[in-house]
Amino acid sequence: MAKRFYENEENDIKTDAWLTTYGDTITLLMCFFVIFFSVSEVNLALFEDLKNGFKNDVMNTETKSPIAMLSEKLDSIYDNPTDDDPDVKVDLEKRGIHIRLSSSDLFKSGDAKLSRAGSVTIDDITLQLLDIVGAYHLTCDIEGHTDDTPINSYRFPSNWELSASRAANVLRQMIASGMPPMQCEAIGFADIRPLIEPFDSTGALVPGARSANRRVEILIRY
């Protein structure tokens, strides 16, 4: 019994020996931080400035959607056109951003080939869209629209072919300017989605309606 008691006591001593080393380590760490703090100089004014600056940044930062950011960017560019600038309308709608271009600024009458000035306009718009559309993988729909005046030529048997061809050519120009092809779609609507009904209730032609309806729209959406 005496031998067993002695062994247990020896084991207890060995088991508790680490506490001494642990206590010495904690004491040394405490001394280190006391010395470190005593020789350091706390700049309270700088600390308050940093705290208030961080608080203001967090409280005042508004999280804007990519669509909203792009809309603001385009508005700042196209809101105040000069007489020589193309007619570019930018509207933030429920589906996304509508960029509306008059066909007369892009094509000759009855044709779907982009004019030189039209190509420059599309290149410029694409340049403004690229960073946000590419970064956030937004979709770019190009829609072709005509007026209600019928067309019947070898190339364009109807307004469906004309509107689709115009949308496709704008799409090709945008892709050539760097727009990711997988994020683009083109479609022609002929005259079925007029901005302005061409005739009033009396059957009279509404002035300016047909020219307004001949257009290309670029829709930026999620």
Q: 70 falls in which pLDDT band (50, 70, 90)?
A: very high
Tell me: pLDDT of 39 over 60: no
Q: What is the pLDDT of residues 120-168, one digit of tens each?
A: 999 999 999 999 998 899 999 999 999 999 999 999 999 999 999 999 9
% of the chain beyond a pLDDT of 70? 77
Cβ proximity of 78 and 69 under 8 Å: no
Bridge-based pairing of strands 139-145 and 97-102 is unpaired
Cβ proximity of 171 and 122 under 8 Å: no
State in words which class domain 66-221 has. alpha beta
> Domain spans of the chain?
2-60, 66-221
